[in-house]
Structure 1
């Protein structure tokens, strides 16, 4: 069960690292525009905001990896909780899909970690 918790948490961290790359480096590129359904004009106008958003996703990924490597369960639970809150907020303000892409994997990892 512990191994499953580690794998799920690592997957959430990798997902947020992917968000960092999309938002900081690919926002105005074809892949970034496709993923987020952006027009070239909107992508260009919002790229600084997206980069900031990507940076925060990188902090979440780093915190989760820190929890797995050195911080232990309390640190990992804290950062999983942050991801869940961000996912719920994003689902409420941006789109429901965020609930399933961001919050659900983190909630699953948190439940498994608590049961481990």
Structure 2
């Protein structure tokens, strides 16, 4: 279970690094490809600063998850990891309820699975 918890947590980290990059630096290119069905093309340029702000928040989630691997106390490391994975899961659930059901599968599900494996590996 430890390996699965690490693998799923790293997968969430990688995903959110990609989201950070896309929203902060590639909103008008990669962002258009990802969100072309849910956002009209003419809105990408005017929403570039809003997307960058969202990307920054994804960076904070990445920082928290990476930090959880650097904490020496195992109990604290698990608590911090579960907290940040929980933040990702809540954001994914909220996104699924308010924007697109696909967000649940892409964002919330990996975080929930990582949380499950972290909890089982304790």
TM-score range, shorter chain: over 0.9
The equivalent of 2:88 in structure 1 is: 83
How far the C-alpha of 1:56 sits from its partner, in A, is 0.4
My pick for the range that moved more, 48-57 or 67-76, is 67-76
- Cα shift readout 1:33-74 (whole Å, capped 9, x = no counterpart): 111114442100100000000000111111111112225100
Query: Which residue does the alignment assign to 1:48?
Result: 49
User: RMSD across aligned C-alpha pairs, in angstroms?
Assistant: 1.1
Runs (5+) with no aligned partner, structure 2: none
User: Could you tell me whether the CA contact under 8 Å between 1:6 and 1:68 is conserved in 2?
Assistant: no
State the number of aligned residues. Answer: 115
Paired residue for 1:60? 61
Alignment of 1:95-114 (within 5 A): 95-114=100-119
Runs ≥4 residues deviating over 6 A: none
**CA–CA distance in 1 between the matches of 2:7 and 2:70?**
12
Q: Following the alignment from structure 1 to structure 2, what is the Cα–Cα distance between the partners of residues 5 and 39?
A: 38
Q: Which has the higher helix share?
A: 1
- Give the aligned partner of residue 7 of structure 1: 7
Shift of 1:95: 0.5
Give the aligned partner of residue 35 of structure 1: 34
TM-score if structure 2 supplies the norm length? 0.90
